[in-house]
Structure 1
Amino acid sequence: MGHMSSALPRAARRGLADEAADLVRAAIFSGHFPPGAALREVELAERLGVSRGSVREGLARLEREGLVRGGWHRGNTVIEVTAEDVQEVYALRAALDRLAATTARRAATAEHLSRLDRLVDEMTTEIAGGSDAHRLVALDIAFHDQIYAAAGNGRLTTAWQAIRSQLHLFQLRRVDAAYDHYRARVVDEHRELAALLRSGDSRTLARRAEEHVNSARLSLLASLSPVP
Structure 2
Amino acid sequence: MISLAESTPRQRSRSETAEHALRRDIVLGTLAPGAALRELELAERFDCAQGTIREALMRLSEDGLVTRRARRDTHVAQASPDDAGELLRIRHDIECRAAVRVIEARNDALLRDLDTQLQAMRIAALREDEYSLLEHDCSFHLRLFEAAAMPVVEPVLFRCLVHTQRFKILNSAPETRDLKATAERHVSILEALTTGEPDTLARALSHHITTIVDFGPDVFAAKGRHGT
**Deviation at 1:87?**
1.0
**Deviation at 1:33?**
2.0
Aligned equivalent of 2:7: none
1:113-152 counterparts in 2 under 5 A? 113-127=111-125, 129=126, 131-152=128-149
Change in 2 beyond 3 A, CA 1:21/1:221: farther
1:1-228 counterparts in 2 under 5 A? 17=15, 20-29=18-27, 31-72=29-70, 75-127=73-125, 129=126, 131-173=128-170, 176-177=172-173, 179-180=175-176, 182-183=178-179, 185-216=181-212, 219=215
**Gaps in structure 2 of 5+ consecutive residues:** 1-12, 219-228
Change in 2 beyond 3 A, CA 1:211/1:74: farther
Offset from partner CA, 1:127-166 (integer Å, 9 cap, x none):
4x35332232222112112212333321232322343432
Partners of 1:92 and 1:177 lie apart in 2 by 25
Offset from partner CA, 1:55-110 (integer Å, 9 cap, x none):
23321221121111223576222122221111121111111111344322221220
Partners of 1:221 and 1:202 lie apart in 2 by 23
Look up the SS of the partner of 2:185 in the other structure: helix
The code of the aligned residue for 1:197 comes to: L
Offset from partner CA, 1:6-39 (integer Å, 9 cap, x none):
xxxxxxxxx7655543442244345542333221
After TM superposition, the score normalised by the length of structure 1 is 0.74
Change in 2 beyond 3 A, CA 1:109/1:57: same
Change in 2 beyond 3 A, CA 1:50/1:221: farther
Partners of 1:179 and 1:193 lie apart in 2 by 25
Look up the SS of the partner of 1:151 in the other structure: coil
**Deviation at 1:113?**
0.5
The code of the aligned residue for 2:187 comes to: R
Offset from partner CA, 1:36-60 (integer Å, 9 cap, x none):
3221111012222333233233212
**Deviation at 1:220?**
6.5
The code of the aligned residue for 2:152 comes to: R
Partners of 1:165 and 1:130 lie apart in 2 by 21
Change in 2 beyond 3 A, CA 1:46/1:159: same
Look up the SS of the partner of 2:75 in the other structure: strand
The code of the aligned residue for 1:150 comes to: A
Higher helix content, 1 or 2: 1
Look up the SS of the partner of 2:64 in the other structure: coil
Partners of 1:217 and 1:92 lie apart in 2 by 18
Aligned equivalent of 2:223: none
Look up the SS of the partner of 1:216 in the other structure: coil
**Gaps in structure 1 of 5+ consecutive residues:** 1-14, 223-228
After TM superposition, the score normalised by the length of structure 2 is 0.74
Partners of 1:62 and 1:43 lie apart in 2 by 17
Partners of 1:30 and 1:140 lie apart in 2 by 15
Change in 2 beyond 3 A, CA 1:106/1:167: same
